[in-house]
Structure 1
């Protein structure tokens, strides 16, 4: 089998309607990443650049499994956002999408969350290898919208999942098998919203990836340039392929573009002086609220409350419906919901709503699996203990099957040493002769 490597390029543009670039892109011989920040008031820049700062630490010789390394880095990036929000409530509500491909020498480990996209061009055919975590895509999946209708839907950019610094982040983690000649594209929605897939397909296949990146940016700007646009492209080549000095990656140096190339937010923390902090908060209250940036509205994250609050809210709605006479309808609806959590330390599929309402049981065990939560990596344990929502029973089973890939077998018990035989006196030839003589005499 031919040993593979890849050429790479990263390119970004602020766009025609934006004054700041909230996208971050990175490309190196080990790692490809794109992050599209959101939140307004520079918070989007902070989210994407801080996420990139954490994920970039994977740009080194890989130790261990690529999937676990990438999943762990995504979890740490999400935790970092949570730290920043705790230190500075002014950035509450910020978040970022993420697409990352980590190369292990044979295949890519892939992480995806949000509406940035990952594409593969193989044998001239373009395939989207990520699933949009958007409201309209959920309608397409349910058969309520066609892909063409979704493309022009007014809420097409409302995302359902992103890295927000909370425990309920749920990225897609998978493996991507690469072949000689494949080209991979990671892009922010500034490209995919402005340029049709068939045009991306034709452009991605041009002579060099550097030219393809330039052309894709140009096409996005010609299409309106309403948002920041960032592309990261890789082309799979044989490892022994001579270096093409005309390519931007020929020097082997990593390429970092966008917000992450211009800033890294230090850990400053809030003032320890409660009086000073109160004065600062009061001063903020005196500043008139400015109109929301349209981008903030498009990417408005869920209110910054814990997942438990959300469960209580859903549970209270069901309880209110029961008390109001619509009990059967509400209960029937709740029993069509599924999630994966833990029961007595085992990964378990539940039917119902993951909420705790005194006197009302909204969840029931559907299936207890044979997966012990303690055998999962820390990142996966946190997900299961927080509860992973599923769109159906089949989806819940898929979640369990995926978790099964990450089980760490328990170490085999140490073998019990065999008892050491008690040494005996060495039998001599004379002993044998004496015994033989005794037997003869006895007979």
Structure 2
């Protein structure tokens, strides 16, 4: 029976005092923790399997609270996310849950907490790619690295490759604001490989370097080398990533 292998790690980087990223792989979550070696998990390719990263908004209080809330909620309903509509509804529910937990307009210290999210639902024959914000999903193949998520970011100025601003996220404002999640379906076959990551990887590490690492290393080693590349580039932000592969038993 085919199975899904997921190699993942999460690290605060070199400049942040804490890790506000969170990660979900099926029923398993990793929130506000530090790993320097990848955790590799294996699942049968059967019921929908969600793999996603959530990046708590820096500069806002409670980014770690928001990202953890969202991945735990996604983990609890993951097997039901078998369609684009189901994923879209789940992300809208997560957005409402972040606002509810923030205390709304009551002056809570968590009032503007928020998080991005990006991930994929792996199921037989298809992959549902989704995101809100600027965390990313890439397809990695012999043809190169292809971003399949959609950045919610303002246009980049001349000579700029990244921006710290997002045009939508889950939560993040003092009053409720609806989101329009990006959700798309792709075909899925044995050997397909994906990278899901926060901008702590993609901001400091250029796409061609990420592509080279994915081409040259197997999944667990690729996760380590990508983390090392972000650290060697200054580690300016929390780094969370997952390498997903569909394999034949």
Give TM class, smaller chain: 0.7 to 0.9
**Which residue of 19, 22, 25 maps to 1:21?**
19
CA distance in 1, matches of 2:188, 2:206: 24
Where in structure 2 are the equivalents of 1:44-443 lying within 5 Å?
44-60=63-79, 62=80, 65-86=82-103, 89-137=108-156, 145=158, 149-151=159-161, 156-164=163-171, 166-238=176-248, 241=249
Q: Secondary structure at the match of 2:92?
A: helix
Q: Deviations over 1:63-108 (max 9, x none)?
A: 7x42222222211111111111226621111111111211232211
Q: Deviations over 1:325-376 (max 9, x none)?
A: xxxxxxxxxxxxxxxxxxxxxxxxxxxxxxxxxxxxxxxxxxxxxxxxxxxx
Please, what is the CA RMSD of the aligned residues? 2.0
Residue 168 of structure 1: how far off its partner (Å)? 2.0
Q: Is the 8 A contact 1:39 1:94 kept in 2?
A: no
Structure 1 stretch displaced more, 166-175 or 16-25: 166-175
Q: Is the 8 A contact 2:61 2:112 kept in 1?
A: no
Residue 8 of structure 1: how far off its partner (Å)? 0.6
Q: Is the 8 A contact 2:137 2:147 kept in 1?
A: yes
Residue 111 of structure 1: how far off its partner (Å)? 1.6
TM-score (norm 2): 0.82
Residue 25 of structure 1: how far off its partner (Å)? 1.4
Higher strand share: 2
Residue 190 of structure 1: how far off its partner (Å)? 0.6
Residue 42 of structure 1: how far off its partner (Å)? 4.7
Residue 150 of structure 1: how far off its partner (Å)? 2.9
Tell me how many residue pairs correspond in the alignment.
223
Q: Is the 8 A contact 2:54 2:67 kept in 1?
A: yes
Q: Secondary structure at the match of 2:96?
A: helix
Higher helix share: 1
Structure 1 runs (4+) greater than 3 angstroms displaced: 39-42
Q: Secondary structure at the match of 2:183?
A: strand
Q: Deviations over 1:116-140 (max 9, x none)?
A: 1111112241101112111135x6x
**Which residue of 4, 8, 11 maps to 1:10?**
8
Higher relative contact order (CA 8 A, sep 6+): 2
